[in-house]
Structure 1
């Protein structure tokens, strides 16, 4: 049976974006025609977590309603470099625990992290949605693989906008950053676009 995961931010005993996580779990059960829902709030309360600091609550569950939990101390680390990897067939519409294909792409790239390109459109990294900066504004690709909870939250609060981001216009952006349930919009964690090792050259540079 397929296994799914939810990675939820817990900081100083406060849990974040719980409604969005619960909505995704409910939609997963509904899509597969199951009604064995799990209640994330009840699961968190049952843990009686009383430690301060930043943690990732990882809940692994199946469609029978069985689950297991891990409370993992979390710290964001800087990524040395990125590489664009083309994969036109990969599908990650649900947050599956099985990440073998993602890990395979990452190993073959020989980069610290990958940015997956699908039909010439920018999608996500191996574990995060992406934001790209143009001027003062941050944009997220319309062509995501997984519509993450942080991505939805930032769009709803109008802190970011959607855009069609492709190999052709990627160089129009100056910086990018990774967002997920653990990582919010934060200028301190942005990367210059040149951190992408195989960044396409601007059109005027390639014309002879």
Structure 2
């Protein structure tokens, strides 16, 4: 049976974006014909977590209600280099625990992190959504693989906008950053576009 995961930010005993995480869990159960989803708030309360600091609460579950939890101390770190990787068939509509295809792409890339290109469009990294800066504004690709909770939150609060971002117009952006449940919209880790190792200098000179 398929296993799914939720990685939830917990800082100083406070849980973040719980409503968005619960909706994703509910949608996952509903998509596979199950009526009663697991309750993330109850799971967190039953952990009786009383430590200050930043943690990732990793919840692994299946559609029968089996749950496994891990509370992992978390530190955000800088990524040294990125590489564009083409995969036109990869699908990650639900947050599956199985990441074999992502791990394979990572190994073949020989980079610290990958940016997956699907049908000529920028999607996500192996573990996050992306934001790209043009002028003073930040945009997220409308061709995401997974509509992450942080992405939804930032769009709803109008801090970012959606855009069609392709290999051909990528050079119109100056900087980028990664976002996920653990990584908020943050000026600390903004990368220049040149951090992408195989960034095409011209649309007709793309080498993935």
* Common topology (TM > 0.5): yes
In the alignment, structure 1 residue 103 sits paired with structure 2 residue 103: yes
After TM superposition, the runs of 4+ consecutive aligned structure 1 residues lying more than 6 A away are none
Give a deviation string over 1:103-155, Cα, whole Å, max 9, x none.
00000000000000000000000000000000000000000000000000000
Instruction: Compute the displacement of 1:203 (Å).
Output: 5.2
CA distance in 2, matches of 1:107, 1:125: 14
Using the alignment, how far apart are the partners of 1:33 and 1:205 within structure 2? 46
Q: Secondary structure at the match of 2:188?
A: helix
1:85 has 2:92 as partner = no
Q: How far apart are 1:35 and its partner, in Å?
A: 2.0
State the partner residue of 1:32: 32
Q: Paired residues, what number?
A: 206
RMSD: 1.3
SS in 2 for 1:108: helix
Aligned to 2:66: 66
Structure 2: stretches of 5+ with no match in the other structure: none
Match of 1:125 in 2: 125
| TM-score relative to the length of structure 1 | 0.97
Q: Please tell me whether the aligned partners of residues 59 and 70 of structure 1 are also in contact (alpha carbons under 8 angstroms).
A: yes
**Helix, strand or coil: the match of 1:44?**
helix
Three-state SS of the structure 1 residue aligned to 2:35 is: coil
Distance 2:37 2:125 in 1: 29
The answer for the alignment partner of 1:192 in structure 2 is 192
TM-score (norm 2): 0.97
